Protein backbone atom coordinates (compact mmCIF):
# COMPACT_ATOMS: atom_id res chain seq x y z
CA UNK A 1 0.00 0.00 0.00
CA UNK A 2 1.04 3.57 -0.58
CA UNK A 3 0.65 5.95 2.32
CA UNK A 4 -2.17 7.82 0.62
CA UNK A 5 -4.23 4.89 -0.56
CA UNK A 6 -7.80 5.47 0.63
CA UNK A 7 -8.51 3.29 3.66
CA UNK A 8 -11.72 2.06 2.08
CA UNK A 9 -9.66 0.42 -0.71
CA UNK A 10 -7.39 -1.54 1.65
CA UNK A 11 -7.68 -5.21 2.45
CA UNK A 12 -8.54 -6.43 5.97
CA UNK A 13 -4.87 -7.34 6.55
CA UNK A 14 -3.70 -3.94 5.41
CA UNK A 15 -6.24 -2.28 7.66
CA UNK A 16 -5.16 -4.39 10.62
CA UNK A 17 -1.56 -3.31 10.02
CA UNK A 18 -2.70 0.30 9.70
CA UNK A 19 -4.52 0.04 13.04
CA UNK A 20 -1.38 -1.27 14.73
CA UNK A 21 0.62 1.65 13.32
CA UNK A 22 -1.96 4.19 14.44
CA UNK A 23 -2.11 2.71 17.95
CA UNK A 24 1.66 3.07 18.22
CA UNK A 25 1.52 6.65 16.92
CA UNK A 26 -1.22 7.48 19.40
CA UNK A 27 0.66 5.92 22.33
CA UNK A 28 3.70 7.98 21.39
CA UNK A 29 1.51 11.08 21.25
CA UNK A 30 0.09 10.37 24.70
CA UNK A 31 3.57 9.87 26.03
CA UNK A 32 4.44 13.44 25.12
CA UNK A 33 2.11 14.81 27.80
CA UNK A 34 0.90 17.73 25.69
CA UNK A 35 -1.47 20.37 26.98
CA UNK A 36 -3.02 22.22 24.04
CA UNK A 37 -6.36 23.83 23.33
CA UNK A 38 -8.15 24.34 20.03
CA UNK A 39 -11.55 25.18 21.51
CA UNK A 40 -11.34 28.90 21.91
CA UNK A 41 -12.61 31.07 19.09
CA UNK A 42 -11.04 34.13 20.57
CA UNK A 43 -8.34 36.60 19.54
CA UNK A 44 -4.76 35.84 20.55
CA UNK A 45 -3.03 38.32 22.88
CA UNK A 46 -1.02 39.63 19.90
CA UNK A 47 -4.29 40.55 18.22
CA UNK A 48 -5.56 42.34 21.31
CA UNK A 49 -2.28 44.25 21.48
CA UNK A 50 -3.13 45.81 18.09
CA UNK A 51 -5.81 47.88 19.81
CA UNK A 52 -3.93 49.04 22.88
CA UNK A 53 -4.01 52.64 21.66
CA UNK A 54 -7.63 52.47 22.87
CA UNK A 55 -6.36 52.53 26.42
CA UNK A 56 -5.21 56.13 26.00
CA UNK A 57 -8.43 57.27 24.32
CA UNK A 58 -10.74 59.10 24.01
CA UNK A 59 -8.65 62.20 23.55
CA UNK A 60 -11.73 64.36 24.14
CA UNK A 61 -15.15 63.53 25.46
CA UNK A 62 -17.66 65.28 23.22
CA UNK A 63 -19.08 63.45 20.24
CA UNK A 64 -19.79 64.81 16.75
CA UNK A 65 -23.10 66.23 17.99
CA UNK A 66 -21.38 68.02 20.86
CA UNK A 67 -22.80 65.56 23.40
CA UNK A 68 -20.79 64.95 26.56
CA UNK A 69 -20.21 61.21 26.30
CA UNK A 70 -19.50 60.97 30.01
CA UNK A 71 -23.11 61.63 30.86
CA UNK A 72 -26.39 59.74 30.55
CA UNK A 73 -28.38 59.51 27.34
CA UNK A 74 -28.07 58.72 23.67
CA UNK A 75 -29.63 55.26 23.72
CA UNK A 76 -29.00 54.73 19.99
CA UNK A 77 -25.24 55.30 20.35
CA UNK A 78 -23.03 58.19 19.26
CA UNK A 79 -23.28 59.70 15.81
CA UNK A 80 -19.79 59.01 14.51
CA UNK A 81 -19.64 55.32 15.38
CA UNK A 82 -23.13 54.74 13.93
CA UNK A 83 -22.10 56.49 10.73
CA UNK A 84 -18.84 54.58 10.51
CA UNK A 85 -20.43 51.17 10.89
CA UNK A 86 -23.43 52.10 8.75
CA UNK A 87 -21.01 52.59 5.88
CA UNK A 88 -19.18 49.35 6.65
CA UNK A 89 -22.43 47.36 6.91
CA UNK A 90 -24.01 49.02 3.82
CA UNK A 91 -26.91 50.52 5.72
CA UNK A 92 -28.06 54.04 6.67
CA UNK A 93 -26.98 55.58 10.00
CA UNK A 94 -30.61 55.78 11.20
CA UNK A 95 -30.82 52.01 10.71
CA UNK A 96 -27.98 51.39 13.20
CA UNK A 97 -27.89 51.15 16.97
CA UNK A 98 -24.46 51.16 18.63
CA UNK A 99 -24.75 49.37 21.95
CA UNK A 100 -22.66 47.73 24.60
CA UNK A 101 -19.80 45.30 24.32
CA UNK A 102 -21.62 42.20 23.06
CA UNK A 103 -23.86 41.58 20.06
CA UNK A 104 -24.99 38.34 21.68
CA UNK A 105 -26.71 40.39 24.37
CA UNK A 106 -28.49 42.38 21.63
CA UNK A 107 -29.66 39.11 20.07
CA UNK A 108 -31.05 37.99 23.40
CA UNK A 109 -32.70 41.40 23.88
CA UNK A 110 -34.38 41.18 20.49
CA UNK A 111 -35.64 37.68 21.24
CA UNK A 112 -36.87 38.85 24.65
CA UNK A 113 -38.73 41.80 23.09
CA UNK A 114 -40.30 39.54 20.47
CA UNK A 115 -41.25 37.13 23.21
CA UNK A 116 -42.78 39.65 25.58
CA UNK A 117 -44.03 42.39 23.26
CA UNK A 118 -44.24 41.01 19.72
CA UNK A 119 -42.75 42.25 16.46
CA UNK A 120 -43.58 45.46 14.57
CA UNK A 121 -45.27 43.26 11.98
CA UNK A 122 -46.60 40.67 14.42
CA UNK A 123 -50.08 39.90 15.67
CA UNK A 124 -49.11 39.00 19.25
CA UNK A 125 -46.07 38.38 21.46
CA UNK A 126 -44.28 35.18 20.57
CA UNK A 127 -44.86 33.88 24.12
CA UNK A 128 -48.56 33.69 23.28
CA UNK A 129 -47.98 31.35 20.36
CA UNK A 130 -48.55 27.68 20.98
CA UNK A 131 -45.15 26.90 19.57
CA UNK A 132 -42.25 28.92 18.21
CA UNK A 133 -39.68 27.31 15.93
CA UNK A 134 -36.39 28.58 14.53
CA UNK A 135 -34.52 27.33 11.52
CA UNK A 136 -30.89 26.56 12.33
CA UNK A 137 -28.40 26.07 9.51
CA UNK A 138 -25.93 23.38 10.63
CA UNK A 139 -23.19 23.24 11.53
CA UNK A 140 -23.74 26.55 13.31
CA UNK A 141 -22.83 28.67 16.34
CA UNK A 142 -23.53 26.86 19.62
CA UNK A 143 -24.53 30.00 21.52
CA UNK A 144 -27.34 30.68 19.04
CA UNK A 145 -28.74 27.27 19.91
CA UNK A 146 -28.27 27.80 23.64
CA UNK A 147 -30.35 30.99 23.42
CA UNK A 148 -33.20 29.18 21.66
CA UNK A 149 -33.08 26.41 24.20
CA UNK A 150 -33.26 28.94 27.03
CA UNK A 151 -36.44 30.43 25.53
CA UNK A 152 -37.95 27.00 24.92
CA UNK A 153 -37.94 27.68 21.17
CA UNK A 154 -38.01 24.56 18.97
CA UNK A 155 -35.39 24.06 16.30
CA UNK A 156 -35.38 22.60 12.83
CA UNK A 157 -32.09 22.24 10.97
CA UNK A 158 -31.17 22.86 7.35
CA UNK A 159 -27.79 22.20 5.77
CA UNK A 160 -25.25 25.00 5.62
CA UNK A 161 -23.82 24.92 2.09
CA UNK A 162 -20.82 26.71 0.60
CA UNK A 163 -23.08 29.56 -0.51
CA UNK A 164 -25.05 29.82 2.74
CA UNK A 165 -28.07 27.99 4.16
CA UNK A 166 -29.96 25.64 1.83
CA UNK A 167 -32.44 28.31 0.70
CA UNK A 168 -34.87 25.91 -0.94
CA UNK A 169 -35.11 23.87 2.25
CA UNK A 170 -35.69 27.06 4.25
CA UNK A 171 -38.32 28.33 1.79
CA UNK A 172 -40.19 25.02 1.90
CA UNK A 173 -40.28 25.05 5.72
CA UNK A 174 -41.41 28.64 6.17
CA UNK A 175 -44.06 28.49 3.46
CA UNK A 176 -46.42 26.21 5.36
CA UNK A 177 -45.55 26.30 9.06
CA UNK A 178 -46.65 29.47 10.88
CA UNK A 179 -44.81 28.36 14.03
CA UNK A 180 -41.52 29.05 12.21
CA UNK A 181 -40.83 32.58 13.35
CA UNK A 182 -37.19 32.99 12.53
CA UNK A 183 -33.85 31.69 11.46
CA UNK A 184 -30.22 32.19 12.32
CA UNK A 185 -27.65 32.92 9.74
CA UNK A 186 -24.00 33.89 9.99
CA UNK A 187 -23.76 35.27 6.48
CA UNK A 188 -20.06 35.96 6.18
CA UNK A 189 -17.37 33.42 7.02
CA UNK A 190 -19.87 31.43 9.07
CA UNK A 191 -19.07 29.86 12.40
CA UNK A 192 -17.87 27.17 11.90
CA UNK A 193 -18.14 26.38 8.18
CA UNK A 194 -16.59 29.58 6.82
CA UNK A 195 -19.34 29.73 4.18
CA UNK A 196 -20.30 33.06 2.67
CA UNK A 197 -23.98 33.60 1.88
CA UNK A 198 -24.33 34.45 -1.80
CA UNK A 199 -26.40 37.29 -3.15
CA UNK A 200 -28.83 34.74 -4.65
CA UNK A 201 -29.37 32.89 -1.37
CA UNK A 202 -29.80 36.17 0.50
CA UNK A 203 -32.32 37.37 -2.09
CA UNK A 204 -34.30 34.15 -1.76
CA UNK A 205 -34.38 34.39 2.05
CA UNK A 206 -35.39 38.05 1.82
CA UNK A 207 -38.23 37.44 -0.60
CA UNK A 208 -39.62 33.96 0.20
CA UNK A 209 -43.26 33.86 1.31
CA UNK A 210 -43.61 32.91 4.98
CA UNK A 211 -46.65 31.56 6.79
CA UNK A 212 -45.69 33.68 9.83
CA UNK A 213 -46.23 37.38 9.04
CA UNK A 214 -43.50 38.35 11.52
CA UNK A 215 -40.77 35.96 10.37
CA UNK A 216 -37.32 37.27 11.33
CA UNK A 217 -33.89 36.61 9.91
CA UNK A 218 -31.26 36.97 12.64
CA UNK A 219 -28.42 38.05 10.35
CA UNK A 220 -25.41 37.68 12.64
CA UNK A 221 -22.60 39.30 10.71
CA UNK A 222 -19.99 38.71 13.43
CA UNK A 223 -17.24 38.14 10.83
CA UNK A 224 -18.22 40.74 8.24
CA UNK A 225 -14.71 42.19 7.94
CA UNK A 226 -12.65 39.23 9.07
CA UNK A 227 -10.95 38.32 5.81
CA UNK A 228 -8.05 35.87 5.82
CA UNK A 229 -6.99 36.53 2.25
CA UNK A 230 -7.03 39.38 -0.23
CA UNK A 231 -10.09 37.77 -1.77
CA UNK A 232 -12.48 39.72 0.45
CA UNK A 233 -16.08 38.51 0.57
CA UNK A 234 -18.70 41.21 0.47
CA UNK A 235 -21.75 40.53 2.62
CA UNK A 236 -25.07 40.56 0.80
CA UNK A 237 -27.09 43.70 1.48
CA UNK A 238 -29.93 41.95 3.27
CA UNK A 239 -31.78 45.07 4.44
CA UNK A 240 -32.11 46.44 0.91
CA UNK A 241 -33.01 43.03 -0.50
CA UNK A 242 -35.73 42.53 2.10
CA UNK A 243 -37.07 46.02 1.69
CA UNK A 244 -37.19 45.65 -2.11
CA UNK A 245 -39.06 42.36 -1.69
CA UNK A 246 -41.70 43.98 0.52
CA UNK A 247 -40.41 42.55 3.81
CA UNK A 248 -38.46 45.46 5.28
CA UNK A 249 -38.82 44.29 8.88
CA UNK A 250 -37.69 40.70 8.26
CA UNK A 251 -33.91 40.99 8.80
CA UNK A 252 -32.19 42.12 11.97
CA UNK A 253 -28.47 42.42 11.55
CA UNK A 254 -25.89 42.12 14.31
CA UNK A 255 -22.17 42.86 14.34
CA UNK A 256 -19.50 43.88 16.82
CA UNK A 257 -15.88 44.83 17.22
CA UNK A 258 -15.28 41.87 19.56
CA UNK A 259 -12.83 40.39 17.07
CA UNK A 260 -11.67 43.76 15.75
CA UNK A 261 -10.58 45.50 18.96
CA UNK A 262 -11.17 43.84 22.33
CA UNK A 263 -13.38 40.77 22.65
CA UNK A 264 -14.47 41.89 26.10
CA UNK A 265 -14.61 45.65 25.57
CA UNK A 266 -15.67 46.35 22.01
CA UNK A 267 -18.81 47.92 20.60
CA UNK A 268 -21.79 45.91 19.34
CA UNK A 269 -24.22 46.95 16.62
CA UNK A 270 -27.76 46.20 15.55
CA UNK A 271 -29.01 47.26 12.12
CA UNK A 272 -32.55 46.95 10.80
CA UNK A 273 -35.45 48.91 9.34
CA UNK A 274 -36.02 52.29 11.00
CA UNK A 275 -39.26 50.88 12.52
CA UNK A 276 -37.37 47.94 13.96
CA UNK A 277 -34.72 50.27 15.34
CA UNK A 278 -37.39 52.41 17.02
CA UNK A 279 -39.05 49.26 18.37
CA UNK A 280 -35.75 47.99 19.77
CA UNK A 281 -34.91 51.35 21.37
CA UNK A 282 -38.36 51.68 22.92
CA UNK A 283 -37.96 48.36 24.72
CA UNK A 284 -34.30 48.96 25.53
CA UNK A 285 -35.30 52.27 27.10
CA UNK A 286 -37.34 50.47 29.74
CA UNK A 287 -34.11 49.31 31.31
CA UNK A 288 -31.32 51.55 30.07
CA UNK A 289 -30.57 55.27 29.86
CA UNK A 290 -27.69 55.01 27.44
CA UNK A 291 -24.75 52.87 26.37
CA UNK A 292 -21.07 53.30 27.21
CA UNK A 293 -20.56 56.28 24.90
CA UNK A 294 -17.01 56.86 26.10
CA UNK A 295 -16.07 53.43 24.75
CA UNK A 296 -17.88 54.20 21.51
CA UNK A 297 -16.04 57.50 21.18
CA UNK A 298 -12.63 55.97 21.77
CA UNK A 299 -13.40 53.37 19.11
CA UNK A 300 -14.42 56.11 16.67
CA UNK A 301 -11.19 58.01 17.39
CA UNK A 302 -9.08 54.86 17.21
CA UNK A 303 -10.36 53.87 13.75
CA UNK A 304 -10.74 57.41 12.38
CA UNK A 305 -12.81 56.22 9.41
CA UNK A 306 -14.42 53.12 7.90
CA UNK A 307 -11.17 52.60 6.00
CA UNK A 308 -9.39 52.63 9.36
CA UNK A 309 -11.41 49.54 10.32
CA UNK A 310 -10.49 47.78 7.07
CA UNK A 311 -6.82 48.66 7.51
CA UNK A 312 -6.90 47.37 11.06
CA UNK A 313 -8.31 44.03 9.90
CA UNK A 314 -5.28 43.54 7.64
CA UNK A 315 -3.11 43.49 10.78
CA UNK A 316 -5.27 40.74 12.27
CA UNK A 317 -5.01 38.82 9.04
CA UNK A 318 -1.22 38.94 9.16
CA UNK A 319 -1.26 37.39 12.63
CA UNK A 320 -3.84 34.66 12.11
CA UNK A 321 -3.45 33.62 8.47
CA UNK A 322 -0.29 31.60 9.19
CA UNK A 323 -2.24 29.66 11.81
CA UNK A 324 -4.95 28.80 9.30
CA UNK A 325 -2.27 27.80 6.81
CA UNK A 326 -0.75 25.52 9.43
CA UNK A 327 -4.11 23.81 9.96
CA UNK A 328 -4.47 23.20 6.22
CA UNK A 329 -0.95 22.01 5.74
CA UNK A 330 -1.11 19.47 8.60
CA UNK A 331 -4.53 18.18 7.52
CA UNK A 332 -3.40 17.91 3.88
CA UNK A 333 -0.17 16.13 4.66
CA UNK A 334 -1.54 13.75 7.31
CA UNK A 335 -5.07 13.04 6.09
CA UNK A 336 -5.15 13.99 2.41
CA UNK A 337 -6.35 11.25 0.06
CA UNK A 338 -7.16 8.74 2.81
CA UNK A 339 -10.90 9.26 2.65
CA UNK A 340 -11.22 9.63 6.41
CA UNK A 341 -11.96 13.34 6.70
CA UNK A 342 -13.06 16.46 4.87
CA UNK A 343 -12.50 20.00 6.02
CA UNK A 344 -13.24 23.58 5.05
CA UNK A 345 -10.67 26.01 3.67
CA UNK A 346 -12.08 29.28 4.90
CA UNK A 347 -11.04 32.62 3.44
CA UNK A 348 -12.21 34.44 6.55
CA UNK A 349 -13.60 34.10 10.05
CA UNK A 350 -12.27 32.17 13.01
CA UNK A 351 -12.85 28.47 12.35
CA UNK A 352 -12.16 25.38 10.33
CA UNK A 353 -14.90 22.78 10.24
CA UNK A 354 -13.64 19.20 10.16
CA UNK A 355 -15.87 16.28 9.21
CA UNK A 356 -14.49 12.87 10.13
CA UNK A 357 -16.08 9.48 9.35
CA UNK A 358 -19.72 9.23 10.37
CA UNK A 359 -19.91 8.12 13.98
CA UNK A 360 -16.28 8.98 14.74
CA UNK A 361 -16.34 12.59 16.00
CA UNK A 362 -17.04 11.76 19.64
CA UNK A 363 -14.24 9.20 19.61
CA UNK A 364 -11.77 11.65 18.06
CA UNK A 365 -12.55 14.31 20.67
CA UNK A 366 -12.17 11.71 23.45
CA UNK A 367 -8.86 10.44 22.08
CA UNK A 368 -7.61 14.01 21.78
CA UNK A 369 -8.64 14.79 25.33
CA UNK A 370 -6.79 11.77 26.66
CA UNK A 371 -3.71 12.95 24.80
CA UNK A 372 -3.98 16.45 26.30
CA UNK A 373 -5.60 18.30 23.39
CA UNK A 374 -8.86 20.07 24.14
CA UNK A 375 -11.28 20.11 21.21
CA UNK A 376 -14.78 21.59 21.10
CA UNK A 377 -17.17 18.80 22.14
CA UNK A 378 -18.48 16.77 19.21
CA UNK A 379 -21.97 17.94 18.33
CA UNK A 380 -21.48 21.46 19.72
CA UNK A 381 -22.29 22.98 16.34
CA UNK A 382 -25.78 21.41 16.34
CA UNK A 383 -28.91 22.26 18.36
CA UNK A 384 -28.99 20.24 21.57
CA UNK A 385 -25.39 19.26 20.99
CA UNK A 386 -26.69 16.50 18.76
CA UNK A 387 -24.87 15.92 15.48
CA UNK A 388 -27.00 13.16 13.94
CA UNK A 389 -24.01 11.88 11.98
CA UNK A 390 -21.51 12.41 14.82
CA UNK A 391 -18.88 13.60 12.38
CA UNK A 392 -18.35 17.35 12.84
CA UNK A 393 -15.55 18.94 14.87
CA UNK A 394 -14.97 22.68 15.10
CA UNK A 395 -11.33 23.78 15.10
CA UNK A 396 -10.38 27.22 16.40
CA UNK A 397 -6.77 28.08 15.59
CA UNK A 398 -6.59 31.81 16.40
CA UNK A 399 -5.75 31.79 20.10
CA UNK A 400 -2.74 29.45 20.47
CA UNK A 401 0.72 30.40 19.21
CA UNK A 402 1.59 29.17 15.72
CA UNK A 403 3.81 26.31 16.96
CA UNK A 404 1.07 25.13 19.29
CA UNK A 405 -1.46 25.14 16.43
CA UNK A 406 0.83 22.95 14.34
CA UNK A 407 1.50 20.59 17.23
CA UNK A 408 -2.17 20.37 18.18
CA UNK A 409 -3.26 19.74 14.61
CA UNK A 410 -0.70 17.01 14.21
CA UNK A 411 -2.15 15.40 17.32
CA UNK A 412 -5.70 15.80 15.99
CA UNK A 413 -4.66 14.06 12.77
CA UNK A 414 -3.26 11.15 14.77
CA UNK A 415 -6.56 10.84 16.65
CA UNK A 416 -8.61 11.02 13.43
CA UNK A 417 -6.50 8.24 11.92
CA UNK A 418 -6.77 6.01 14.97
CA UNK A 419 -10.54 6.51 15.23
CA UNK A 420 -10.91 5.70 11.53
CA UNK A 421 -8.74 2.60 11.83
CA UNK A 422 -10.74 1.41 14.82
CA UNK A 423 -13.98 1.94 13.02
CA UNK A 424 -12.94 0.27 9.77
CA UNK A 425 -11.58 -2.80 11.53
CA UNK A 426 -14.44 -3.16 14.00
N1 LIG B 1 -21.85 35.58 16.66
C2 LIG B 1 -21.00 34.64 16.22
C3 LIG B 1 -21.31 33.90 14.99
C4 LIG B 1 -19.83 34.37 16.94
O5 LIG B 1 -18.99 33.42 16.49
C6 LIG B 1 -19.56 35.09 18.12
C7 LIG B 1 -18.36 34.81 18.93
O8 LIG B 1 -17.73 33.80 18.81
C9 LIG B 1 -20.48 36.05 18.54
C10 LIG B 1 -21.62 36.28 17.79
C11 LIG B 1 -20.28 36.83 19.80
O12 LIG B 1 -20.29 38.19 19.49
P13 LIG B 1 -20.18 39.30 20.62
O14 LIG B 1 -18.84 39.23 21.20
O15 LIG B 1 -20.43 40.57 19.87
O16 LIG B 1 -21.26 39.03 21.62
CATH code of 407's domain: 3.90.1150.10
Residues 205 and 296 in one domain: yes
Q: Is residue 17 part of a domain?
A: yes
Residue 187 CA to ligand 1 center (angstroms) comes to 13
Say if residue 324 is exposed, middle or buried (CB neighbours under 10 Å; 0-12, 13-18, 19+): buried
Residues 191 and 112 in one domain: yes
DSSP assignment letter at 97: E
Which helix (H) or strand (E) covers residue 157, if one does?
Answer: strand 154-161
pLDDT of residue 285: 98
Could you give the number of structural domains in the chain?
2
Query: Which of 99, 103, 218 for mutating ligand 1's site (highest number of atoms within 8 Å of CB)?
Result: 103
The verdict on the CB of residue 102 being under 6 Å from ligand 1 is yes
Q: Which ligand 1 atom minimizes the distance to the CA of 258?
A: 14
Q: Which of 285, 304, 323 is the last residue of a domain?
A: 304
Residues 135 and 23 in one domain: no
Residues 333 and 254 in one domain: no
Give the residue-averaged pLDDT of 157-165.
Answer: 97
The verdict on the CB of residue 302 being under 6 Å from ligand 1 is no
Q: Is residue 131 part of a domain?
A: yes
d(CA 385, CA 155): 12
pLDDT of residue 88: 97
pLDDT higher than threshold 90 for residue 72: yes
Q: Is residue 170 part of a domain?
A: yes
Q: Is residue 112 part of a domain?
A: yes
Summarize pLDDT for 280-297 with one digit per residue, the tens: 999 999 999 999 999 999
State the pLDDT confidence band at 162, using cuts at 50, 70 and 90: very high
Give the residue-averaged pLDDT of 68-89.
Answer: 98
pLDDT higher than threshold 80 for residue 237: yes
Q: Which of 252, 284, 304 is the last residue of a domain?
A: 304
Residues 210 and 356 in one domain: no
CA pseudo-torsion sign 116, 119, 120, 122: negative
Residues 300 and 314 in one domain: no
Q: Is residue 52 part of a domain?
A: no
Q: Is residue 280 part of a domain?
A: yes
Residues 169 and 140 in one domain: yes
Question: Which value does ipTM take for this structure?
Answer: 0.99
Residues 175 and 79 in one domain: yes
Summarize pLDDT for 393-419 with one digit per residue, the tens: 999 999 999 999 999 999 999 999 999
pLDDT higher than threshold 90 for residue 183: yes
State the pLDDT confidence band at 96, using cuts at 50, 70 and 90: very high
Say if residue 49 is exposed, middle or buried (CB neighbours under 10 Å; 0-12, 13-18, 19+): exposed
The verdict on the CB of residue 41 being under 6 Å from ligand 1 is yes
The verdict on the CB of residue 147 being under 6 Å from ligand 1 is no
Return the closest-CA partner of residue 398 out of 189, 207, 87: 189
pLDDT higher than threshold 80 for residue 3: no
State the pLDDT confidence band at 15, using cuts at 50, 70 and 90: very high
pLDDT higher than threshold 80 for residue 1: no
Summarize pLDDT for 202-216 with one digit per residue, the tens: 999 999 999 999 999
pLDDT of residue 112: 98
Q: Is residue 59 part of a domain?
A: no
Residues 24 and 89 in one domain: no
DSSP assignment letter at 52: G
Residue 212 CA to ligand 1 center (angstroms) comes to 27
Residues 262 and 366 in one domain: no
d(CA 396, CA 327): 10
Q: Which of 304, 339, 361 is the last residue of a domain?
A: 304
Strand duo 96-98 + 268-271: pairing: antiparallel
State the pLDDT confidence band at 4, using cuts at 50, 70 and 90: confident
Residues 211 and 354 in one domain: no
CATH number of the domain to which 248 belongs: 3.40.640.10
Residue-range definition of the domain harbouring residue 120: 64-304
The verdict on the CB of residue 104 being under 6 Å from ligand 1 is yes
> Chain-wide mean pLDDT for the chain?
97
Residue 104 CA to ligand 1 center (angstroms) comes to 6
Q: Is residue 163 part of a domain?
A: yes
Residues 372 and 246 in one domain: no
Residue 351 CA to ligand 1 center (angstroms) comes to 12
Amino acid sequence: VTETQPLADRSPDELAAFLTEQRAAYDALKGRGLKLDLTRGKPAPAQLDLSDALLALPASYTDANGVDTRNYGGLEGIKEIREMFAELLWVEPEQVVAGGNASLVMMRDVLTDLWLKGAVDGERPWSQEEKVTFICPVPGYDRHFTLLDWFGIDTVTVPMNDDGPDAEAVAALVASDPSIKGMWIVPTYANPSGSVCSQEVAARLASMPTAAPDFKIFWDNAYAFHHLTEDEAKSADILTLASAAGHPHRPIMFASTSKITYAGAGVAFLAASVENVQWYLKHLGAGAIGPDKVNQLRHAQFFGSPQGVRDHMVKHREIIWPKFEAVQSVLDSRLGGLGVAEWTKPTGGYFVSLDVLDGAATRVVQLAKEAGIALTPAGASFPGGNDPRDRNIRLAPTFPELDAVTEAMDAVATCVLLAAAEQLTA
